[in-house]
Amino acid sequence: MKKFTMGVLGLGEGRSIISAVQNSELWELGNICDLNEELCKERCQEFGLDGYTTEYQNMLDDESIDVIGIYTPDQLHAAHIKMALEAGKHIICTKPLMVDLDEAGALLEAQKRTGKTVFVGQSSRYFEPARRQRQDFEEGRLGELITVETHYISDSRWFLDREWSRRKGFSWMYNFMIHAVDLAVWYLPEVEEVYGLGTASENTRERGIQAPDTMKFLLKNKDGRFAGVNGVYAAPTLGSAVEQSISCTLRGTKGISRAGYPKLQYYTNFQPVQKTAQLHEYNELHDYFFRFEAETHHAGEYQNYIEQFARDMNEGITPKPDLKEGIRTLAVMEAMEQSLRLGIPVKVSQVLADRNLCPD
Q: 55, 82, 116 — which closes off a domain?
A: 116
Examine residue 300 and state whether it is found in any structural domain, yes or no: no
Structural domains of the chain, count: 2
Per residue in 109-121, pLDDT tens? 999 999 999 999 9
Examine residue 18 and state whether it is found in any structural domain, yes or no: yes
**The pLDDT value given to residue 358:** 80
CATH number at residue 88: 3.40.50.720
Expressed as residue numbers, the domain containing 43 is: 4-116
**The pLDDT value given to residue 124:** 94
Residues in the chain where the model's pLDDT stays below 50:
none
- Beta-carbon contacts of 223 under 8 Å, excluding residues fewer than 6 positions away, are 190
End-to-end CA distance of the chain: 30
**The pLDDT value given to residue 169:** 60
**The pLDDT value given to residue 42:** 95
Cα 329 to chain centroid distance, Å, stands at 11
Both 166 and 242 in a single domain?
yes
**C-alpha separations of 58 from 34, 61, 116 in Å:** 11, 5, 19
**The pLDDT value given to residue 204:** 83
Both 134 and 110 in a single domain?
no
Examine residue 43 and state whether it is found in any structural domain, yes or no: yes
Both 229 and 199 in a single domain?
yes
Examine residue 291 and state whether it is found in any structural domain, yes or no: no
Both 142 and 265 in a single domain?
yes
- Global confidence as pTM: 0.92
Examine residue 65 and state whether it is found in any structural domain, yes or no: yes
Examine residue 356 and state whether it is found in any structural domain, yes or no: no
Both 111 and 156 in a single domain?
no
Pairing of strands 226-232, 214-221: antiparallel
Examine residue 210 and state whether it is found in any structural domain, yes or no: yes
Both 85 and 223 in a single domain?
no
CATH number at residue 259: 3.30.360.10
Contact assessment for residue 227 and residue 244, using Cβ atoms and an 8 Å cutoff: no
Both 112 and 131 in a single domain?
no
Both 228 and 132 in a single domain?
yes
Question: Which of 330, 360, 335, 321 shows the shortest CA–CA distance to 124?
Answer: 321
Q: 116, 149, 168 — which closes off a domain?
A: 116
**The pLDDT value given to residue 173:** 85
DSSP assignments along 267-285, one per residue: EEE-SSP-SSPEEEE-GGG
Q: With left for phi above 0 and alpha for psi between -120 and 50, is residue 13 left, alpha or beta?
A: alpha
Examine residue 139 and state whether it is found in any structural domain, yes or no: yes
Both 12 and 68 in a single domain?
yes
Residue 154 to residue 231: CA distance in whole angstroms: 8
**The pLDDT value given to residue 172:** 84
